[in-house]
Chains A and B, each alone.
Chain A
Amino acid sequence: MANGARDLEAARPGQEPAQSQSIWDRIATSKEFQDLMATKKTFIVPAFIFFLVYYFALPVLVGYAPQFMDTKIGKVNLAYLFALSQFFVAWIIAGLYVKAANNFDRLAKDILDKADKGDK
């Protein structure tokens, strides 16, 4: 348990050296960190909103336009196909996120490297 416990102790308010608080502030206001946050936002916010809209369209349409959703398409209906499409859309968004996140990792690594140097 040793390491974990001490890390948490160090992070508890009041027990922390004054200048270490300013390290966090310094990183938070640095250009690199602002870039990371901006890059994350450009992907995550639209992706999240798209997924909410696409998902909630399903219960809304099925609930309030059941006849329309029962429109036959071959042997199945629109309702089933739309529900099935949700799985694939979720997988695609997850895949795109993983790809975008590689970029986040790169930006975060720069910040970590710099913070390491600053500490020592």
Chain B
Amino acid sequence: MNISLVMFLIFIAITLGITYWASRRSAGSAAYFAASRQIKGWQNGIAVAGDYMSAASFLGIAGIIAFQGYDGFLFSVGWLVAYLTVLLVIAEPLRNAGKYTMADVLAYRLKPRPVRGMASLSTLTVSTFYMIAQMVGAGALVKLLLGGYVTYNQAVIGVGILMIVYVVFGGMLATTWVQIVKAVLLMAGTILLSILVMAHFHFSFGQFFGAIGQVTYHDAKGAVVVKDFLQPGLRYKPPYGPLDLISLGMALIFGTAGLPHILVRFYTVPDAKTARHSVVWAMVLIGSFYIMTTFLGFGAATIVGPDFIKVHGGTNMSAPLLAQALAGNVFFAFISSIAFATILAVVAGLTISATTSFSHDFWTNVIHNGVERKPGEEVMVARISAFVVGAVAIGIAIVLGPTANVAFLVALAFAVAASANLPVIVLSIFWRRFNTAGAVTGLAVGLLASIGLILVSPSLMAVDPPTVVGTARHLIQAKAWFPLENPGILSIPLGFIGAIIGTLVSSEPSSQEKFNELLVRSNTGLGAEKATAH
């Protein structure tokens, strides 16, 4: 029997066990949506890291560094440093003033219905796009690893069903523990891989970096190339590369603090101080992980080589192939099942944040004016919407197929989070004059600007050679109108400007009167949601 399959099944069995355990202790909204706010700081820190370190970072980053060297490592830097925005600006006020979603904080001062409606739309957009990228990745990975046993469609359906089961039966408690298990596995796998890479170079950094200085491969025309992979500029080339790099940095730095599946995690801890400590825990883990992408990425470039990776599954297989080259098939299976676990945990985290927003923001507060018509309705609606979200994601991932060009969806999620969510959260906490019209305009402009600019960016607009077929082709076969892959540099200021103009052209005295309440609540924790007993 295929060893990868055995490891996949073991992970699935453990997570289903967790779900069964959690299902017996998650009655009521606070238990279901926020794990009764009883998660400890270090646990939540590991879970935040688990939610964040997606397949895009594990498989994707290793691949980008393996093929484009140093420029790929810049993603790693941004992904960690972004947590300073979360720590210094967002986490504590959010925990103090909110309940289950980011919209709770907005709804304090502003008119709840329009603000929650828009915030819910933006949350669902971010979560769904991000989820589809992960699902396509999962399907392609499983197909590659278990080709003889499982097809792409079966893999997508399997991942979809598992994520629905975690969320429907286990709620936030199960999702949190699935993240913790996954994060520990991912860290263990990454540390092992890093040690093996250094062992390959006889634990000499001199030899390691010497090898990085002369990576040899064949370029597109078949000529042999020797490149220094520490040299900047292999990915971000002039004329627009440098600007794209800054734009990417902005999307990461301001987007992380607006990612709904990260923000909901701060409601699972007892208070703001614990939320703060969980960010620090997350930063230690995430930082260590991304520093180790040096070994994963450059290790794959030097030990396996871009030529070999290209014909054995492509960039995303760099880390598993490195494992195979260093320690054989069992380790290959181990690293691959960690990648699988990573995807599964991240889609579960995305699903619960999407369903929480739909049921708490949209169903209870927009449609029914904040009243649960009968006890348990909010949780029931969340469970039903988990099925819907899961089914939609499965459907889209199957239609797109394994070769679909979906990498831009992760960039889009960050761009929407940075351009729509972050401006309104920040202005709502810090600007007395801010009002409902500003929030709705800011969310709408940020959302539309990010989607619009990505639609006309090189990610979706390019002329493919005829050899590229099906969904791997760019959506619009023409030269891109907007030259950058990442819209952040334009869409983030637009989100802020939209929010500011919307505010200035309207007047809402009640929002200004309630500013003091939000200010005191978010800074002192007075009246904050408490942990509940089981």
Give the B-binding residues of A (Cβ under 8 A). Answer: 1-5, 7-9, 11-13, 21, 24-25, 27-29, 33, 36-37, 40, 44, 47-48, 51-52, 55-56, 58-60, 62-64, 66, 69-70, 75-77, 79-80, 83-84, 86-87, 90-91, 93-95, 97-98, 101, 105, 108, 111-112, 115
Q: Which 5 A-B pairs have the closest CB atoms?
A: A63-B242, A28-B516, A24-B517, A75-B209, A1-B29
Q: How far is the CB of A7 from chain B (nearest CB, A)?
A: 7
B514:A97 contact, CB within 8 angstroms: no
User: A80 CA to B209 CA in the complex, in Å?
Assistant: 11
Task: Point out the residues of chain A lying under 8 angstroms from B527, CB to CB.
Answer: 7, 11
Task: Point out the residues of chain B lying under 8 angstroms from A27, CB to CB.
Answer: 516, 520, 524, 526
Task: Point out the residues of chain A lying under 8 angstroms from B513, CB to CB.
Answer: 21
Task: Point out the residues of chain B lying under 8 angstroms from A101, CB to CB.
Answer: 273, 276
Task: Point out the residues of chain A lying under 8 angstroms from B524, CB to CB.
Answer: 27, 33, 36, 108, 111-112, 115
Q: How far is the CB of A81 from chain B (nearest CB, A)?
A: 10
Task: Point out the residues of chain A lying under 8 angstroms from B84, CB to CB.
Answer: 48, 51, 90, 93-94
Task: Point out the residues of chain A lying under 8 angstroms from B74, CB to CB.
Answer: 58-59, 62, 83
Task: Point out the residues of chain A lying under 8 angstroms from B248, CB to CB.
Answer: 59
A87:B284 contact, CB within 8 angstroms: no
Task: Point out the residues of chain A lying under 8 angstroms from B180, CB to CB.
Answer: none
A3:B530 contact, CB within 8 angstroms: yes
Query: Which residue of chain A has the shortest Cβ distance to B242 in the bound complex?
Result: A63
From A8, A24, A36, A83, contact of B73 by CB (8 A): A83
Instruction: State whether the Cβ of B477 lies closer than 8 Å to any Cβ in chain A.
Output: no
B287:A90 contact, CB within 8 angstroms: yes
Task: Point out the residues of chain B lying under 8 angstroms from A12, CB to CB.
Answer: 112, 370
Query: Which residue of chain B has the shortest Cβ distance to A27 in the bound complex?
Result: B520
Instruction: State whether the Cβ of B206 lies closer than 8 Å to any Cβ in chain A.
Output: yes
Task: Point out the residues of chain A lying under 8 angstroms from B88, CB to CB.
Answer: 44, 47-48, 51, 93, 97
Instruction: State whether the Cβ of B95 lies closer than 8 Å to any Cβ in chain A.
Output: no
From A8, A11, A59, contact of B246 by CB (8 A): A59
Task: Point out the residues of chain B lying under 8 angstroms from A37, CB to CB.
Answer: 523
Task: Point out the residues of chain B lying under 8 angstroms from A1, CB to CB.
Answer: 28-30, 372, 375-376, 378
A86:B80 contact, CB within 8 angstroms: yes
B87:A87 contact, CB within 8 angstroms: no
B246:A86 contact, CB within 8 angstroms: no
Q: How far is the CB of A42 from chain B (nearest CB, A)?
A: 13
Task: Point out the residues of chain B lying under 8 angstroms from A97, CB to CB.
Answer: 87-88
Task: Point out the residues of chain A lying under 8 angstroms from B434, CB to CB.
Answer: none
User: A9 CA to B372 CA in the complex, in Å?
Assistant: 11
User: A55 CA to B519 CA in the complex, in Å?
Assistant: 29
A5:B29 contact, CB within 8 angstroms: yes
Instruction: State whether the Cβ of B81 lies closer than 8 Å to any Cβ in chain A.
Output: yes
Task: Point out the residues of chain A lying under 8 angstroms from B76, CB to CB.
Answer: 83
Give the A-binding residues of B (Cβ under 8 A). Answer: 28-30, 70-71, 73-74, 76-78, 80-81, 83-85, 87-89, 99, 104, 108, 112, 205-206, 209-210, 213, 228, 230-233, 236, 241-243, 245-246, 248-249, 253, 273, 276-277, 279-280, 283-284, 287, 290-291, 370, 372, 375-376, 378, 510, 513-514, 516-517, 519-521, 523-527, 529-530, 532
Q: A33-B520, A36-B523, A79-B231 are in contact. List 13 more A-B contacts (CB 8 A).
A: A1-B372, A5-B29, A21-B513, A24-B521, A27-B520, A28-B516, A48-B84, A58-B249, A62-B71, A66-B233, A79-B232, A90-B83, A111-B520
User: A99 CA to B397 CA in the complex, in Å?
Assistant: 46
User: A120 CA to B130 CA in the complex, in Å?
Assistant: 49
B273:A105 contact, CB within 8 angstroms: yes
B517:A21 contact, CB within 8 angstroms: yes
B246:A83 contact, CB within 8 angstroms: no
User: A111 CA to B513 CA in the complex, in Å?
Assistant: 21
| Residue contacts A-B, CB under 8 angstroms, 11 given | A1-B372, A1-B375, A11-B108, A27-B524, A48-B89, A55-B249, A56-B249, A62-B233, A70-B228, A70-B230, A98-B277
Are A70 and B273 CB-contacts (below 8 A) given A28-B520, A91-B284?
no
Query: Which residue of chain A has the shortest Cβ distance to B510 in the bound complex?
Result: A13
B523:A55 contact, CB within 8 angstroms: no
Listed residue (A37, A47, A70, A80) with the most chain B CB atoms within 10 angstroms of its CB: A80
B529:A7 contact, CB within 8 angstroms: yes
Task: Point out the residues of chain B lying under 8 angstroms from A98, CB to CB.
Answer: 276-277, 280
Q: How far is the CB of A96 from chain B (nearest CB, A)?
A: 10
Q: How far is the CB of A37 from chain B (nearest CB, A)?
A: 7
From A4, A75, A90, A95, contact of B206 by CB (8 A): A75
Are A3 and B532 CB-contacts (below 8 A) given A56-B249, A63-B236?
yes
A25:B87 contact, CB within 8 angstroms: no
Q: How far is the CB of A71 from chain B (nearest CB, A)?
A: 11
